[in-house]
Amino acid sequence: MSEAPHNEQALHLLQTVFGYPSFRGQQGEIVDHVVRGGDALVLMPTGGGKSLCYQIPALLRDGVGVVVSPLIALMQDQVDALAEVGVRAAFLNSTQTYEEASRIERRVRNGELDLVYVAPERLLTPRCLELLEASRIGLFAIDEAHCVSQWGHDFRPEYIKLSVLHERFPAVPRIALTATADHQTRGEIVHRLQLENALQFVSSFDRPNIRYQIVEKANGRKQLLDFIESEHAGDAGIVYCLSRKKVEETAEFLNQSGIAALPYHAGMEFTQRSKNQARFLREDGIVMVATIAFGMGIDKPDVRFVAHLDLPKSIEGYYQETGRAGRDGAPANAWMAYGLQDVVQQRRMIDESEADETFKRVQGGKLDAMLGLCETLSCRRARLLEYFGQPATPCGNCDNCLTPAVSFDATVPAQKLLSAIYRVDQRFGAGHVIDVLRGVDSDKVKQWRHEQLSTFGIGADQSEAEWRAILRQAIALGLVAVDYDAYNSLKLTDDARPVLRGERKIQMRQYQKPVKQKRASTKPKSYVESDLSPAEQALFDKLRWWRVETARKHNVAAFIIFHDSTMREIAKAKPMSLGELRGVTGVGEKKLETYGAEIVALIEAMQ
Ligand code: ADP
Ligand code: ZN
């Protein structure tokens, strides 16, 4: 076995079928390893290019490549995209009729397919395993492999049973892929899927084109609207909320404010949910307001922003959700509004869950890491990457790098806060404690005669919002706990004592009043703007119209025809012949044949 032929064949397929000039990152090595029959574990960020790592080996190896994927709703798009480049692909899942499934099964058995996508529960049926045993299998790709992790956010019990593949098909290479990179999950994947002998390919988890921003929440919805209007007018984006109700309300609010938004959550009727997802994928510039039920495997390349109106439960979740922005490599924003209520709510959800103590401890640790990311005064990206075990230096493309946060010695305010909580006997919630600090004559203050306390009014020099920020950080730092069984009353923890005694100094992030960004705001806007000249922009717009029409005719999503990045390249290069068009990234032989003449004619008509 010599090395060159594989590499040459793989590169040839990459260029002629997919239209890409060269492999990205570790793709080439991974492809080579799997083509030779090796097992692989691939950890690559969203948008890194995982699909090609099994698609090209499936084309090069004898037999059909079996892709295990939990994403039934997206199989159609995946198969459509492959058909567009001339790859013979199909799927097997519960949305099909018996006849349809039988037809696909026949093609698998007869070796007429390059790739077949199968849902895990389907794969595990005796019928499907028998089919695979009667067929020639080139490889197994286990996509979204982090679904085996019981601690994780996407746990699918069927995934654990996928070890059967190794037992029943020991000679078939397996490639497991995920964008979740933490150490624990990686260990679980190896263990559960029996991938001890697999070669591990760990890419950098940095997504340099994503700008991270976490702002203090005042009026979340209004802040979201300002953010969208000032930086993302007309862009596609995803807004994550914690509850179904908030999803509905936020979508309606955005619509009333003139932004095309659709809701998505697991409580919605299936057809409506699918319809909304299809519209988001196929139309330009839709904002999807969703719970975390939405998004796994969404490979819409031109999502320009991901916004969080509520705090995610873990950094893994945050990273995965924000990773859905900017898959095309063009500038994108990850924006989050975060406040005291988020900390209280997330801590309560862990506290009140039915889970056992170990699970709660793990979840508590994950939340603490997430809070650390929100409260950090240094580079957000460095913090994220360090969490995934990758040392990093300040990035220059997050809020803390762009406008360094101001920290201050908060020892005295923290002492005031802790004393106030102590003086009201640790029996009151945030609102009342802050009233006492600020010397507010509320009914409750009068009722309990709290104006007589020594702490009454000792914090009158600071606003309510400032006190909320201090309290939030005190909770995040673990100085204060919230008692959910007793009207959310605030309690001091053991860690509060050294602060009260003056033995421990506390640094906090200075509260910054939310400022409304002007519509024509300078930096962020230019950040996501493209670099096309007016003439190129005109051609690009024309191509977009052509793509909308063509997508409708072929009944596929627009990005399946060409990505924005490909069209941008066409707009710049203005190819006047098929030969010139062939050199553009994303234009393979099949697409050249199908669309080449139309594109060239369209460019000629504009000259
Ligand atoms: P992942 O599954 O890792 O999130 P995908 O496989 O969907 O990522 O790839 C992300 C994007 O990058 C896709 O638009 C894909 O076409 C593009 N891409 C992948 N590999 C290459 C490459 N070698 N050259 C250019 N573009 C690529
Ligand atoms: Zn940074």
Q: Using one digit for the tens of pLDDT, what is the confidence trace for 513-545?
A: 766 554 444 344 445 556 788 888 889 888 988
Between CA 422 and CA 434 the distance in angstroms is 13
pLDDT of residue 362: 84
The CA dihedral of 580, 586, 590, 596, to the nearest 10 degrees, is -40
User: Closest residue (by CA) to atom 10 of ligand 1?
Assistant: 47
Q: Is the beta carbon of 61 within 6 A of some atom in ligand 1? A: no
Between CA 267 and CA 375 the distance in angstroms is 33
Give, as one character, the DSSP assignment of residue 529.
Answer: S
pLDDT of residue 2: 44
Sign of the alpha-carbon torsion through 160, 164, 169, 170:
positive
Ligand nearest to the CA of 379: 2
As given in the structure block, the two tokens for residue 450 are 């709290």
Q: Is the beta carbon of 19 within 6 A of some atom in ligand 1? A: no
Q: Is the beta carbon of 146 within 6 A of some atom in ligand 1? A: no
pLDDT of residue 307: 98
Between CA 115 and CA 78 the distance in angstroms is 11
The C-alpha angle 532, 537, 543, rounded to 5 degrees, equals: 125
Q: How many residues does the chain have?
A: 607
Main-chain phi, psi angles of 178, to 5 degrees: -160, 160
Q: Work out which ligand 1 atom sits closest to the CA atom of 46.
A: 4
Ligand nearest to the CA of 48: 1
Ligand nearest to the CA of 382: 2
Residue whose entry in the numeric block shows the structure tokens 């998004």? 295
Strand partners, 333: 211, 305
pLDDT of residue 519: 44
Q: Is the beta carbon of 24 within 6 A of some atom in ligand 1? A: yes
- Select from 114, 106, 600, 180 the least CA-distant residue to 387: 180
Give, as one character, the DSSP assignment of residue 17.
Answer: I
Q: Work out which ligand 1 atom sits closest to the CA atom of 18.
A: 16
- Select from 264, 248, 334 the least CA-distant residue to 298: 264
For residue 452, what are the contacts with CB-CB under 8 A and spacing of at least 6?
none
- Find out whether 190 and 155 touch, Cβ atoms under 8 Å: no
pLDDT of residue 1: 43
pLDDT of residue 516: 57
E strands along 112-265, which residues?
115-118, 137-142, 174-178, 199-202, 210-216, 236-240, 261-264
- Find out whether 54 and 114 touch, Cβ atoms under 8 Å: no
Residue whose entry in the numeric block shows the structure tokens 């790592």? 53
Between CA 470 and CA 499 the distance in angstroms is 14
pLDDT of residue 4: 53
Regions of the chain where pLDDT drops below 50: 1-3, 518-526
Q: Work out which ligand 1 atom sits closest to the CA atom of 21.
A: 24
Q: Is the beta carbon of 49 within 6 A of some atom in ligand 1? A: yes
Main-chain phi, psi angles of 41, to 5 degrees: -115, 120
For residue 535, what are the contacts with CB-CB under 8 A and spacing of at least 6?
none
Distances from the Cα of 262 to the Cα of 247, 285, 332, 386, 569, angstroms = 9, 11, 20, 35, 31
Q: Is the beta carbon of 325 within 6 A of some atom in ligand 1? A: no
The pTM assigned to this predicted structure is: 0.79
Q: How far apart are the first and last CA of the chain?
A: 52
As given in the structure block, the two tokens for residue 136 are 């020639």
Q: How far is the CA of 316 from the centre of ligand 2 (A)?
A: 18
pLDDT of residue 424: 95
E strands along 162-219, which residues?
174-178, 199-202, 210-216
pLDDT of residue 527: 56
Residue whose entry in the numeric block shows the structure tokens 């982090």? 146
Between CA 40 and CA 69 the distance in angstroms is 17
Residue 289 identity? V
User: Closest residue (by CA) to atom 2 of ligand 1?
Assistant: 50
Residue 404 identity? P
Give the rounded distance of the alpha carbon of 175 from its chain centre: 22
Give the mutation target among 207, 299, 562, 585 for probing the ligand 1 site: most ligand atoms within 8 A of CB: 299
- In angstroms and rounded to an integer, the radius of gyration of the C-alpha atoms of the chain is 27
Q: How far is the CA of 31 from the centre of ligand 2 (A)?
A: 33
